[in-house]
Structure 1
Amino acid sequence: MADPEKLFMVNVVTPDGLIFSHHSSIVEMRAIDGQRSVMYNHLPILTPLAIGEIKVKRSREMNNIVNHIAVSGGYFEFSNNVATIIADSAERANNIDVSRAKAARERAQNALKKAQAAHDQRSLERAQVALRRAVNRISVYNSVK
C-alpha cells in the first residue's frame, strides 16, 4: 500500500486578513538569502521574505494544483506542520489587476528617472522597491496565463 501524501497547512496573512489557507505538499519561496522549499515535517524555520513569488503546490488529490502568490516581502514561519506567511501585501495570481500593476510599473519608472536626475538617494530607493513590486505582480500574473 502506498504511503498517504504528507500535507501541511499554509496560511497567508496580510493586514487586510487571511487571503489564502489550504493544505500543501510543498511551498517554494524566495527568502532574502535565496530560494527555499519546505515540505511536511521540515524543521522549524523563521525567515524574512524578499519581494517575489510564493508557489504552493497542492496535493495529488487536487490534481497537483499550484497556487501562485505575489508577496512584497514579509516573513515565512514553519512549525508543527503549519506554514504561515505574514506579508504587508500579497495577491493570488488570479486576483492581480494586471493593468493596475502595469500602471504602477510606469509610475515607478518615472519616479526612478526623476530621483536619478535629482541625485535623491532616498527617492531612488523607494522607486526601486516600487518597481520591483510592480514587476513581481506582473510576473506572477503572467506565470499562470
Structure 2
Amino acid sequence: MADPEKLFKVNVVTPDGLVFSHRCSLVEMRAIDGQRSVMYNHLPLLTPLAIGEIRVKRSREDNETVNHIAVSGGYFEFSDNVATIIADSAERSSSIDVSRAEAARKRAQAAMEEAKASHDQQSLERAQVALKRAANRISVYNSSN
C-alpha cells in the first residue's frame, strides 16, 4: 500500500464537467512529445496531450487499482500535488460503448476512402482524426479488460 502522504489528487475535466476525480500514486499519459509519468512531488508541468490513454494508478489497502481513461487531446497540468487534465472529450473505460466506438471506426475508414477518392485533403485529415479517436476508445476499453 502506498503511504497516504505519497498520494496526490487527479481531476479529469471536459466541457461537460468532471469525468474523474481521485487520489492516486501515479498518472501515465501520452503528451504530444512522448510518454510521460507523474508521481507525488513531481516538478510543476504543463503539457499538451495527444489522443491517447491516461492510466491512473490508485492505491487501496491491499491492491492497486488502475483506471483507464480515453482522451482526445487536451492539456495536463501538475502543480502542488494536484494533476488536472482538461480535455475536449474524456471517457472512462467502464463507460465506453465498444460497439458504438467500432461503428465510429468504420464510418471514419469509409470517410477516409471517400476523401482519398475525391482528393479532399481537409476531409481526409478530419477522417484520420476521427479514426484515431475511435481506435483509441477501443484500445482503452480492451486494455482495461
Q: Normalised by the shorter chain, which TM-score bucket? A: over 0.9
What secondary structure sits across from 1:58 in the alignment?
A: strand
**What per-residue deviation string (whole Å, max 9, x for no partner) do you get for residues 57-78 of structure 1?**
0014262100000000000000
Aligned pair count reads 144
| Map of 1:66 onto structure 2 | 66
> 3-state SS of the aligned residue for 1:65?
strand
2:4 pairs with 1:21:
no
Aligned to 1:107: 107
* Deviation at residue 144 of structure 1 after TM alignment: 1.4
In 2: Cα distance, 1:114 partner to 1:17 partner: 35
Q: Root-mean-square deviation (CA), in Å? A: 1.4
Moved over 6 A (4+): none
Amino acid at match of 1:4: D
Q: Does structure 1 retain, via aligned residues, the 8 Å contact 2:55–2:69?
A: yes
Secondary structure of residue in 2 paired with 1:61 = coil
Structural mapping, 1:60-139, within 5 Å = 60-61=60-61, 63-139=63-139
Aligned-pair identity (%): 78
* TM-score, normalised relative to structure 2: 0.96
- Partner residue of 1:49? 49
DSSP-derived class of the 1:55 partner: strand
Q: Which runs of 5+ in 2 are unaligned?
A: none
Change (3 A) 1:71 1:57: same
Q: Which segments of 5 or more consecutive residues in structure 1 lack a partner in the other structure? A: none
What TM-score, normalized to structure 1?
0.96
Counterpart secondary structure, 2:112: helix
Residues in 2 aligned to 1:87 and 1:59: alpha-carbon distance in whole angstroms: 24
**Cross-structure match for 2:3:** 4
